[in-house]
Structure 1
Amino acid sequence: MSDLQQTLDQLRAALGDAQVLTGEAIGQRHYSDWTGHAPACAAALLLPRTTEQVSIALRICNDAGQSVVPQGGMTGLAGGAIPTTADIALSVERLHGIEEIDAAAATISVWAGTTLQEIQQAASGAGFLFPLDLGARGSCQIGGNIATNAGGNAVIRYGMTRELVLGLEVVLADGRVLNLMNKMIKNNCGYDLKQCFIGSEGTLGVITRAVLKLAPQPGETTTLLCALPDYASAVSLLRRVQRDVGTPQAYELMWQDFFRMGVSWLENPVAPMPDEYPLYVLLECAGSRQALEQTVEAAMQAGEVADAILAASHTQARALWKIREATGEFPVRLAPLNFDISLPIGQIGDFAQMCRQRLDQRWPGNHSVYFGHIGDSNLHLTVDCNSLPQPAPILEIEELVYTAVGELGGAVSAEHGIGLLKREFLHHSVSAEALAVMRQLKASFDPKGILNPGKILG
């Protein structure tokens, strides 16, 4: 009997046959994430229902030296949950549900397999807001959001997932359970261990439960689209709005090529304002509409804003957002090579110009678009591989972009993690000394290296 078969027999005896699937019983959605990169059917798929079952499963696998790939909603964009045929995948999808909403503490305690949308709806029903928001809200699971330190549109106001997590329950590689389910904002008792697991992409432990911070409902919001003369004006307008109205719920910058493309993909492709300006910003504020109008008027007088539209209704606001949400159609209309990077806010404009010039010099006629949540230093760049020589030189483009990111002191991943797809470029943003410490941390939590091997550090 093979070592793998012995391990599977132990897992079935401990968890039950229904919790250990193999072969065709494993659904294809567990083969790869939303990138579609290197799909593979794992040697087995574990579907534990309790923290204790996760603990037992990891202890059995650790004793056998069997690699385990934790999985959530499989909506990732960096290959962080993709197994190989030699791995056992462990899905947290059956660790599901809302445990408690504590109105006094303004917290919600949830299981890792609960979708983001379910958490948002539960919070709303209790009169609160859970501000993390992603396009994949109906499919992504909070365990994966935490494991990748997910971002989204509202980071400028509420911070990354890291800022929204007060407590965790985590199962280590050897099966030990860390109960870090804290509800307190102030808790200064030694090392903040939960931070080790947020953004670790399942390489240090498996998150099973979480305590999350809730925010007050923002009340009525105003949506505003502005045309801008240059990148410096985008930064000036942001600071003006923050000073005079308050930090916006969202601040989405679109370069001209992205704006034109987004408009052209609308059902009624008519631009809400002339498309001749270099940049456009879509922002959403929960402060006074009158104060926002006055702020925009002052910005126009200062030359920071060339044109502006304040949405007069929810319908008009949604119509403006549809331009920014053109990204949802990238997989259908383009052959997208997507970059999720961050840079010091003052240098994002310079980076976009430099990167575009280098791409044009190397591949004349290429089509690339730039957009992002610049208030939290995040820029997205998408290159349409249909506009490149075939087969598209993917690695060359990645090296060009990530080298430019490193030159300006940026990060090769802003909100999607490292996974498989960015690990070879991590050195552009992380020093050799820091990488060595990361490897030490991995060895401390997972001495046998069974958890998500090959991800982040290779």
Structure 2
Amino acid sequence: MTDVHQTIVQQTIATLREALGDAQVLTGQAISQRHYSDWTRHAPACPAALILPRDTQDVSTALRICNAAKQPVVPQGGMTGLAGGAVPTSGDIALSLDRLRGIEEIDVAAATVSVWAGTTLQEIQQAVADAGYLFPLDLGARGSCQIGGNIATNAGGNAVIRYGMTRELVLGLEVVLADGRVLNLMNKMIKNNCGYDLKQCFIGSEGTLGVITRAVLKLAPQPGETTTLLCALPNYPSAVALLRRIQREAGTPQAYELMWQDFFRMGVSWLENPVPPMSDQHPLYVLLESSARRDVLEQVLDDAVGAGEVVDAVLASSHAQARSLWKIREATGEFPTRLAPLNFDISLPIGQIGDFAQLCRARLEQRWPGNRSVYFGHIGDSNLHLTVDCHSLPQPAPVLEIEELVYSAVGELGGAVSAEHGIGLLKRDFLHHSVSDEALAVMHQLKSCFDPNGILNPGKVLG
């Protein structure tokens, strides 16, 4: 940071303190290290200041001041992101939504909940459950992630196949633009065709176009009792055929999680009692949850076995058994301690996911013989996850080369380099594999329209 820039930053901080008060503008050691980086721990840095607004007006005031000084601002939520989207530099001012927290209203008739952006996902889930509803977005970070960040990254999760991405669950927003103007887009209606649907510009924009301060979310009925089923499959086409059979005969499941053999074996080996619930010699396994009647599921399963789509199955007979099956799939929570994980969150046309896994595995093995990679995902919504264990590679691990190999293959098959984790810093340089030059140019135009001085989350998504 140059001396001139340092002077401008300090003058901006002084103006912010005068407008908001010292308690809302922290610097130096008063800033918790939580605000230095997200869950990736990528390039941690203490921001020049941390703003802690108490309401929408505080956010508006802060952005107006920073925009006038052309001071970069990095919006931050629960800091649970996996793409570096909320990581500041030492010259940035971070704007945390931690204090914009709480449930404003649960409208039982409209089946909506109005919330502040800093409210955690788990708080929303619990509040609406008490009112007899379900907010179906669900992530492993539910107790830490904030709904504003979920919306800003268009978060996914296990239930997308049944309820859709976050985008499908948002009816209205309140957004503060870079110059401090407040857009009141709060809306409880499913049908609302009054001009451009501006809220869609901010969902998935990762804080680069505006700062989300409030939201109206769509609720669903509680699904009732669910059944958990683990099936062994002979090949990838059977996974697709089984999904379509279940959808036709029992309705869309709440979750449909596919695990390749390598992932299944690894997940079982990490259990406290590492005994597989069935043979671990099958190519693929699917873990699904359905609210259909048990007898209906049993008939679907019988039909699938008869058609050769399923070669073995375990139908959970208790909540405890269901949880034990889910622990295999939830092995991803132990990746940071048991592996040196290089994680990929990609999307492909459903029919091509199996081909991609074979192609990617072959190319990795050809380039780095003996490397360890595992494949898993929510294929019903086109999402595949791939993790490469960098412990199994030459050191230092050739991270950029691996990323280029994987993302080039994604582009070849017409896929997306990000399915549910966003672009942030870590995928920005690979966006061209999924987005055309013309579309990228329009994205830059949109950024210039909403944020002409480029102060909002600079360097993220577009660079």
Q: TM-score range by the shorter chain?
A: over 0.9
Matches within 5 A, 1:30-429: 30-429=35-434
Matches of 2:154 and 2:292 in 1, distance apart?
A: 28
Partner SS for 1:330: helix
Q: What amino acid is the match of 2:233?
A: L
Report Cα offsets for 1:309-358 as digits up to 9, x if no partner.
Answer: 10000000000000000000000000000000000000000000000000
Matches within 5 A, 1:427-442: 427-442=432-447
Matches of 2:89 and 2:444 in 1, distance apart?
A: 22
Partner SS for 1:254: strand
Partner SS for 1:2: helix
Partner SS for 1:383: strand
TM superposition shift of 1:178: 0.1
TM superposition shift of 1:122: 0.4
Matches of 1:131 and 1:108 in 2, distance apart?
A: 12
Matches of 1:166 and 1:322 in 2, distance apart?
A: 34
Matches of 1:396 and 1:204 in 2, distance apart?
A: 31
Report Cα offsets for 1:186-231 as digits up to 9, x if no partner.
Answer: 0000100000000000000000000000000000000000000000
Alignment partner, residue 25 of structure 1: 30
Matches of 1:161 and 1:7 in 2, distance apart?
A: 35
Question: Percent same amino acid at aligned positions?
Answer: 84
| Dislocated runs of 4+, deviation >4 Å | none
Partner SS for 1:7: helix
Alignment partner, residue 457 of structure 2: 452
Matches of 1:5 and 1:198 in 2, distance apart?
A: 32
Matches of 1:208 and 1:189 in 2, distance apart?
A: 22
Q: What amino acid is the match of 2:147?
A: I
Partner SS for 1:355: helix
Q: What amino acid is the match of 1:109?
A: S
Matches of 1:433 and 1:120 in 2, distance apart?
A: 40
Q: What amino acid is the match of 2:275?
A: V
TM superposition shift of 1:308: 0.4
Matches of 1:371 and 1:123 in 2, distance apart?
A: 31
- Alignment: residue pair count: 458
Matches of 1:307 and 1:125 in 2, distance apart?
A: 38
Structure 1 segments unaligned to the other structure (5+ residues): none
Q: What amino acid is the match of 1:206?
A: V
Report Cα offsets for 1:47-75 as digits up to 9, x if no partner.
Answer: 00000000000000000000000000000
Alignment partner, residue 3 of structure 2: none
Matches of 1:388 and 1:66 in 2, distance apart?
A: 41
Q: What amino acid is the match of 1:142?
A: I
Report Cα offsets for 1:25-67 as digits up to 9, x if no partner.
Answer: 0000000000000000000000000000000000000000000
Q: What amino acid is the match of 1:41?
A: C
TM superposition shift of 1:416: 0.2
Matches of 1:122 and 1:181 in 2, distance apart?
A: 20
Partner SS for 1:280: strand
TM superposition shift of 1:105: 0.2
TM superposition shift of 1:135: 0.2
Matches of 1:183 and 1:246 in 2, distance apart?
A: 27
Matches of 1:112 and 1:126 in 2, distance apart?
A: 20
Q: What amino acid is the match of 2:213?
A: T
TM superposition shift of 1:5: 1.6
CA RMSD of the aligned region, Å? Answer: 0.5
Partner SS for 2:37: coil
TM superposition shift of 1:6: 1.4
Q: What amino acid is the match of 2:19?
A: A
How does the TM-score come out when normalised to structure 2?
Answer: 0.99
Correspondent of 2:16 among 11, 14, 22: 11
Matches of 1:309 and 1:3 in 2, distance apart?
A: 64
TM superposition shift of 1:124: 0.2
Report Cα offsets for 1:269-296 as digits up to 9, x if no partner.
Answer: 0000000000000000011111000000
Q: What amino acid is the match of 2:100?
A: L
Q: What amino acid is the match of 1:265?
A: W
- My pick for the range that moved more, 8-17 or 356-365, is 8-17
TM superposition shift of 1:2: 1.8
TM superposition shift of 1:87: 0.3
Matches of 1:180 and 1:77 in 2, distance apart?
A: 28
Partner SS for 2:148: helix
Matches of 1:388 and 1:240 in 2, distance apart?
A: 40
Partner SS for 1:70: strand
Partner SS for 2:50: strand
TM superposition shift of 1:3: 1.5
